[in-house]
């Protein structure tokens, strides 16, 4: 019996060492919590660009200006081409387009994407309906995700360029969706005058009755403004 005691002690010692080693190994394998984002004051502008069938219409007497274009879409492309070089290089731009090629994101939010942005605009083909509600909701989602990456810091704007009323689901649903997520809407109504439904819901509404006015309206979206307050969101 006495001869078995050293063996039992050794076995107990080895068991304890093995247990401690196992616990240490498990502790080392526990991954560190991943950082979801980084605080940044980056400005973010997400554009909804209307390429519906009405954008193929020729300019009428109420919507012309000094420059001549064959269609509304041709004029809108020119305005965007003039606008893009004025956007500061550190600003994130994103683009959602609905046209004959579908209703989808064409350019994700990023800073180094100007050529891709312009190419997406230039290759827009007029056609289809005007799904503003669905497009606005998708744009809001992109801005909210980017805001989470920036830990709530920075600036976030949804800019809608359209020449027609929404088709499909009621537009107020998208407005409420944006309001609940504290994303302000800036609208440029092309050849629409002051009558568009988004006028009463937008932080800023610009009636662009010429392509020069559209260009100026795009430039105005870059202007510094006070912090957005959802409690004073238009249309409440």
pLDDT at position 8 over 70: no
Which one has a higher pLDDT value, 218 or 31?
218
**pLDDT digit string (tens) for 19-72?**
555 544 443 343 444 447 899 999 999 999 999 999 999 887 668 777 789 999
Residues in the chain, total: 236
Q: What average pLDDT does this structure show over 94-108?
A: 98
> Hey, which bits of 51-121 come out as E strands?
92-99, 102-110
Cα distance between residue 50 and residue 55, in whole Å: 8
* Nearest CA among 66, 199, 94 for reference residue 157: 94
| DSSP H/E element including 141 | helix 132-149
pLDDT > 90 fraction of the chain, expressed in percent and rounded: 67
**pLDDT digit string (tens) for 121-136?**
999 999 999 999 999 9
Q: What is the pLDDT of residue 24?
A: 46
Q: Which of 3-17, 139-153, 197-211 ranks highest by mean pLDDT? A: 139-153
* Nearest CA among 115, 116, 111 for reference residue 90: 111
Q: What is the pLDDT of residue 88?
A: 96
Which one has a higher pLDDT value, 209 or 193?
209
pLDDT at position 161 over 90: yes
Q: What is the pLDDT of residue 61?
A: 67
**pLDDT digit string (tens) for 25-40?**
443 343 444 447 899 9
Q: What is the pLDDT of residue 68?
A: 82
Which one has a higher pLDDT value, 190 or 5?
190
**Model pTM above 0.85:** no
**All domains in the chain, ordered by first residue:** 43-224 (3.40.50.410)
Q: What is the pLDDT of residue 14?
A: 53
Q: What is the pLDDT of residue 10?
A: 46
> Hey, which bits of 51-171 come out as E strands?
92-99, 102-110, 155-162
The region of weakest confidence among 59-73, 103-117, 168-182 is 59-73
As a whole number of Å, the end-to-end CA separation of the chain is: 89
Confidence class for position 7, pLDDT limits 50, 70, 90 = low
Q: What average pLDDT does this structure show over 154-164?
A: 96
């Amino acid at each position: 019996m006495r001869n078995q005691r050293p063996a039992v002690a050794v076995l107990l010692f080895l068991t304890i060492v093995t247990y401690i080693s196992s616990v240490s190994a498990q502790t080392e394998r526990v991954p560190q919590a991943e950082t979801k984002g980084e605080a940044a004051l980056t400005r973010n502008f997400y554009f909804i660009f209307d390429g519906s069938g009405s954008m193929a219409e020729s300019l009428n007497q109420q919507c012309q200006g000094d420059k001549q274009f064959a269609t509304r879409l041709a004029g809108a492309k020119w305005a965007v081409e003039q606008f893009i070089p004025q956007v500061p290089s550190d600003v994130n731009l994103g683009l959602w387009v609905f046209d004959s090629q579908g209703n989808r994101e064409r350019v994700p939010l990023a800073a180094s994407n100007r050529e891709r942005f312009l190419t997406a605009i230039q290759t827009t083909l007029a056609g289809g309906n005007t799904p503003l509600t669905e497009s606005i909701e998708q744009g809001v989602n992109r801005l909210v995700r980017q805001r989470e990456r920036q830990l709530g810091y920075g600036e976030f704007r949804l800019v809608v360029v359209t020449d027609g009323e929404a088709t499909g689901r009621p537009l107020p649903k998208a407005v409420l969706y944006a309001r609940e997520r504290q994303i302000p809407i800036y609208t440029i109504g092309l050849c629409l005058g002051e009558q568009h439904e988004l006028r009463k819901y937008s932080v800023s509404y610009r009636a662009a009755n010429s392509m020069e006015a559209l260009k100026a309206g795009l430039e105005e979206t870059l202007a510094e403004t006070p912090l957005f307050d959802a409690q004073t969101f238009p249309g409440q």
